[in-house]
Structure 1
């Protein structure tokens, strides 16, 4: 007998949009004009450099990016930014005012189409048209691991909420994989019955229980059908070999600690292992620490500052003790004002840094007005 009713929602087939990135408004208009002539669908604009792409919020359902590479000497930095902010599967087309065959060849070798601006501007439209007819290639999913540093730290709950947030934010197929040696409670969290096969939880979000024969593995034909895969793993009693496998194959790792000092010890062990791997250029470069206060304060437990001191690395995100309104026995949710904590955590996972706003005083405001006059 099933605990919950089957989810019969179908994934929606949305037409992919095109994103144009350039800091030059004249180039922006000319590129958009070429695309408009060919009758393309939605065209999104970002007036900035490719390095500033993290500031662009409307990243959902982008299938092709056309970006200004005039200031770039190599395509490698652009590739990393695009893969994190959009998708590894997105089609990449660069245009530049550098008429260099060598530079063009380097972009082409990295699977980025290259056009010389402005003489090859008409070729730009035909390139976008051609690639828009091709299906998105699979097998390049972004792999994000959320690892609990001991049992009961709330890693599975955070993994589910993160996967749900990312699926809605990116509007692209997302899979949450619960490790074979974890709690296997994804059905209780999602309220959808899960078999030993991939199960649709909601639009763009599916769930899967990892089989023990494939435990701790990041290469599975199933994963190739998704743009982002969230792995919910537990570091408790994990062997050194398993930890090394995580550090070697994941694109991003978020370690979940609570106030128990044993979780800090485990986090420190994983960080030290990663530092060792980094000496041979094999570790994970985006490793973050989350302090999840999943229960009320108990005397003798460590705080966020003490955790940072114990592991030798600053805590990147702290989630306070959130009691669900009406019934403290129910799991937390991130509705209302609490969404800020989930958004901050997912921004880390997606490579978006928090933007700091400079507060302007009354005197400064009056000074600026006077200067305009």
Structure 2
């Protein structure tokens, strides 16, 4: 092991240091923290998944140990003597050498952006969330495109001369490794990459299964894996993926009756099949208010719970995107709900959503 280095416990310092260094063991000192679990949940995405992390704190609570263990972190209660601390670090290092211990459990959080109907802006929301996770929250993020033959994800990501990665027929039966998986992605910036496949020889089912295999290989290299599951890119195998793999499902609908009914159906299915998975409800107003028929109150009564995020209709969205802008850092009214959605995905505490000026958006 090399000699230890020290940095101030700030988001910027942590981010810059760990991205420029090969960190094996990180000690995070939180002896002045009011909530060790919450602070580590907030900064966990700044730490490389490959590092073993020891959190030092003064909370003498089983719940703290349990919460940190679930996140893949060790906990050292302070004060500790020098021999106790050295023994603790040595045990962590020994576990690391034997490929055991908590560090091996830290993989990317899987986020599914699920379109409850076509044309609800699923790809737009997926790209905005991914870009904001990388830019504003400094999280290593992989965006996964599940439209293998079309889509406008390149426009949303401001990419020029974009081509989906063509999958050769012989590679589908070949053992692949992390290096190959990386070669199948397209780098957007240092913190964001895109996995977008296509093939003239393979079925959608084969491409879907192969995409999942590449995802698994890239798990430890990313803090978040965001799947763009627009309506046109959904297949039956995605339902099992939502139930077994996904940490948070963002269900996106429009104010249309059919879209809201599908959201309700998906939410009930997830509640039964994946009761521990988080659900976030997003309603995206893709048309002017006068073109819709339901009130938000009626929508929430039907769903049996409140809508988490409301993205208002705006005429200027398309022009802003075509002018190479992202919504999350714009002055458009859609910026705030997108930022709130990203914060919710991060697990941050957010204030109750701000409704539009009137509770009644639509008239029957």
Both structures adopt the same fold (TM-score exceeding 0.5): yes
In structure 1, distance between residues paired with 2:192 and 2:75: 31
- The C-alpha deviation readout for 1:200-224, integer Å capped at 9, x for no partner, is 1122111112562142774534433
In structure 2, distance between residues paired with 1:274 and 1:327: 36
In structure 1, distance between residues paired with 2:213 and 2:35: 34
Q: 1:272 to 1:147 in 2, by over 3 A?
A: same
- The C-alpha deviation readout for 1:196-247, integer Å capped at 9, x for no partner, is 1311112211111256214277453443332210001034695666324313
For the 8 Å contact 2:30–2:36, the answer to whether it is kept is yes
Provide TM-score, normalisation by structure 2: 0.67
For the 8 Å contact 1:61–1:170, the answer to whether it is kept is no
For the 8 Å contact 1:324–1:332, the answer to whether it is kept is no
Partner of 2:329: 335
> How much does 1:250 deviate?
0.5
> How much does 1:117 deviate?
6.1
Q: Which deviates further from its counterpart, 65-74 or 191-200?
A: 65-74
> 5 Å matches for 1:313-352?
313-324=305-316, 327=319, 330=322, 333-338=327-332, 339-352=335-348
Q: 1:301 to 1:243 in 2, by over 3 A?
A: farther
Pick from 160, 175, 186: which aligns with 2:127?
A: 160
In structure 1, distance between residues paired with 2:30 and 2:226: 28
Partner of 2:303: 311
Structure number, greater radius of gyration: 1
Verify: 1:95 aligned to 2:82, yes or no: no
Q: 1:335 to 1:65 in 2, by over 3 A?
A: same
For the 8 Å contact 1:148–1:257, the answer to whether it is kept is yes
The runs of 5 or more residues in structure 2 that have no matched partner are 1-17, 166-183, 199-203, 353-364
Verify: 1:150 aligned to 2:117, yes or no: yes
Partner of 2:270: 274
Verify: 1:232 aligned to 2:224, yes or no: no
In structure 1, distance between residues paired with 2:189 and 2:321: 25
In structure 2, distance between residues paired with 1:137 and 1:316: 33
Q: 1:255 to 1:183 in 2, by over 3 A?
A: farther
Partner of 1:223: 218
Partner of 2:154: 187
Q: 1:56 to 1:240 in 2, by over 3 A?
A: closer
- The C-alpha deviation readout for 1:328-350, integer Å capped at 9, x for no partner, is 79587232445422221011111
**Across the two proteins, how many residue pairs are aligned to each other?**
292
Secondary structure of 1:19's match?
strand
Secondary structure of 1:166's match?
helix
For the 8 Å contact 1:139–1:223, the answer to whether it is kept is no
Partner of 2:8: none
Secondary structure of 2:218's match?
helix
In structure 2, distance between residues paired with 1:249 and 1:151: 24
Two-structure CA RMSD over aligned residues (Å): 3.8
RCO comparison, higher one (Cα < 8 Å, 6+): 2
> How much does 1:264 deviate?
0.5
Q: 1:53 to 1:74 in 2, by over 3 A?
A: closer
In structure 2, distance between residues paired with 1:334 and 1:235: 23
Provide TM-score, normalisation by structure 1: 0.65
Q: 1:60 to 1:332 in 2, by over 3 A?
A: closer
- The C-alpha deviation readout for 1:121-165, integer Å capped at 9, x for no partner, is 344566788899999869722110011111110110110010011
Verify: 1:50 aligned to 2:31, yes or no: no
- The C-alpha deviation readout for 1:248-293, integer Å capped at 9, x for no partner, is 320110001112111111111111112222xxxx444211101112
Verify: 1:174 aligned to 2:141, yes or no: yes
Partner of 1:362: none
Partner of 1:361: none
Partner of 1:292: 284
In structure 1, distance between residues paired with 2:326 and 2:284: 12
Secondary structure of 2:290's match?
coil
For the 8 Å contact 2:46–2:139, the answer to whether it is kept is yes
Q: 1:305 to 1:54 in 2, by over 3 A?
A: farther
The runs of 5 or more residues in structure 1 that have no matched partner are 1-11, 26-46, 98-114, 357-373
> How much does 1:51 deviate?
3.4
Partner of 1:121: 85
